[in-house]
Amino acid sequence: KARESDWASVGYYDVAFWQELSNFACRNPEGTPSEMFWHEGSYFTVVGNPEKWWMQEKWLRKALNYAVDVENIMSACYEGMAAPDPPTYLHPDNPNYDELVNKQVVQETWSLLETGYNGHQYIKNSDEKAIEILQEHCEGSVEEGWTYEGKELGGWTIQAVNGWGDVMSLVKSVAKDWREIGIPCEPEFPDYGGWTTNWDTMNFDWMQLWGICPLVGSTVASGYDRTFIGPHTNIWVGNGFYKYEVYFTEDYEAWPNTASEVEQLVLDLYGMEAMTDEYVSTVKELQSIIVPQVPCVFTVSKSTPEGQLLDRWVNYPTVADPYEHRQNLCAPHFYLKHTYPRDISTVGFSLSSKTVEPGDSVTAEVSLMNSADVDLNYAVYVRNGAPKAGPGPEVLAHKGVSVPGGETVTVELELTAPDTEGDYTLTVGDWRIDKYDPGDPKTKVLEVTTEVPVSPIENIPENIGPKLDMAISTAQQALTSAQDAKASADSAVDAAEAAESAANDAKAAADDATAAAEEAGGASTTMVVASMIITIIVVLIGVYAITSKQG
């Protein structure tokens, strides 16, 4: 079925959905859900400037969280393929989430919760609750706006990088939600350089940032480390997204002095065996410190950066795939180079010549079958080397082709033989990877040599061909008659005589072919015919061996 869109920036995939498919956006389909995805998960959050008075009021941070319509963000920004952020800094796909979550602290911090993905508790969207909190602390209304101790709420901007479509939509949604409870707010989209500079210099009101929640390795320790205690290095790939280690210290009275305590607990966690009683209690203790502090506004979680429609495309990166996907800023775009329509099969591969001289031209024919009911584009590559996982061997020729739905097409590609003599394995259809999708690559061996035999088909004059065909055919008849003679004792003599007669006819036809060759083509053509007559002689030797025994 044709789709309006082949690709979408997505946030979250249901694990069971992937496990039921043969082609994965995963790192280890046979592992636990936490091991499946090929890179770490993350929280999408909105963080206020910790030096601004409004960010220092926890009641306000809670009101703003209640106002965020996470369901709308998942639908409008991530096409329904995202999960809400649980307020725990544990990824919702962590296989031990239920054992690790400090439910008591979560419920004491958030009076309105709802059960969502994987049975976890999430902050419930409630404008009523948000307005109730504002009324408790502020003067004003939704229509007139709010003031706190004479200071107006709002007039803020939320920054996200211009061109990052999903987070641009996310901050638009959050700004709209806050306006709907009477707090003026607008999105702002500086370029990447301006965005990073604004973060480093604290030149912002609110900013879209991340919480790191790995799904593999030291999931909790490394996640809390990178999010809360690691020194800030780079806004995109570094640590300390909330500058917790700077502001949650004795140097800032507006914030609780807990950074050193959190750091020590995380360091202790690294040295513990996962899921022991001590480990679980330490994770819960970390939550007892951080969860009540509400250091951000939660939105959605994700596990994969880009998604494809799996009814049309295959060859997603896996753990055995050495493409350029490893923790790289551009990884979501690199793997687009290696995806293929799943309904195209390579059903044939041939070469115009199997033996050529160095540098000669060779035509490769590749047949492609489209089993879908829509036209699909396909990139054909002829590679110099045996199939292997990964980018594959050297490309000798390539061509893009559109294959109509339900049809088979044959594509011709012109190759140039290597300059060095030797046997070369040429491969097509080798783009699939590892044991989860080995595909069906096809290979041909091309011999490159300076001693190329003359091709009979290309050098025999037209008037000689029929004579040679007759000679070979007659010789074969002689052999058949001889074999019949051997098999049937009653007619042995007659069959042997027939074989002898056929053999004589074959010899005469061969003599005629030789004479015609000498007249038409000279020495080179005579050599070609002579090589073919050897075939006839071999057959006649068999006839002689059989008939002599019959006699």
Residue 256: what residue type? P
**248 and 377 part of one domain:** no
**376 and 476 part of one domain:** no
Q: Which residue has the tokens 């360091």?
A: 267
**314 and 351 part of one domain:** no
**Listed residue (461, 474, 435) closest to 529, CA to CA:** 461
Residue 490, domain extent: 456-550
Strand, helix or coil at 96?
Answer: coil
Which domain-ending residue is among 316, 339, 362?
339
**54 and 16 part of one domain:** no
**402 and 482 part of one domain:** no
Count of Cβ atoms closer than 10 Å to residue 425 Cβ:
14
Q: How far apart are CA 377 and CA 517, in angstroms?
A: 50
Residue 455 is given by DSSP the state: P
**131 and 16 part of one domain:** no
Q: Which CATH number goes with the domain that contains 233?
A: 3.10.105.10
**325 and 404 part of one domain:** no
Q: By the 8 A CB rule, do 361 and 415 touch?
A: yes
Which domain-ending residue is among 399, 424, 448?
448
Count of Cβ atoms closer than 10 Å to residue 320 Cβ:
13
**86 and 103 part of one domain:** yes
pLDDT digits (tens, 9 = 90+) for 236-251: 545 667 889 899 999 9
Q: How far apart are CA 110 and CA 117, in angstroms?
A: 18
Q: How far apart are CA 469 and CA 357, in angstroms?
A: 29
Q: Tens of pLDDT along the chain (551 residues)?
A: 233 444 443 333 444 444 444 333 333 445 444 333 333 457 889 999 999 999 999 999 999 999 999 999 988 887 666 789 999 998 887 778 999 999 999 999 999 999 988 889 999 999 999 999 999 999 999 999 999 999 999 999 999 999 988 899 999 999 999 999 999 999 999 998 899 889 889 999 999 988 777 655 557 887 888 788 876 665 554 566 788 989 999 999 999 999 999 999 999 988 888 889 999 999 999 999 999 999 999 998 865 444 444 455 665 555 455 444 444 344 445 555 667 787 889 999 999 999 999 999 999 999 999 998 888 888 899 999 988 765 567 889 999 999 999 999 999 999 999 999 999 999 998 876 555 566 788 999 999 998 866 555 455 555 555 655 565 566 566 556 655 555 554 455 555 565 556 556 656 665 665 565 555 554 444 444 455 555 555 555 555 544 454 44
**363 and 441 part of one domain:** yes
**131 and 272 part of one domain:** yes
Q: Which CATH number goes with the domain that contains 423?
A: 2.60.40.10
For β-strands 442-448 and 355-356, DSSP reports them as parallel
**140 and 223 part of one domain:** yes
Residue 251: what residue type? D
**82 and 226 part of one domain:** yes
Which domain-ending residue is among 448, 477, 495?
448
pLDDT digits (tens, 9 = 90+) for 57-66: 999 999 999 9
Number of domains into which the chain is organized: 4
Angle, CA 387 vertex, CA 396 and CA 310 arms, to 5°: 100
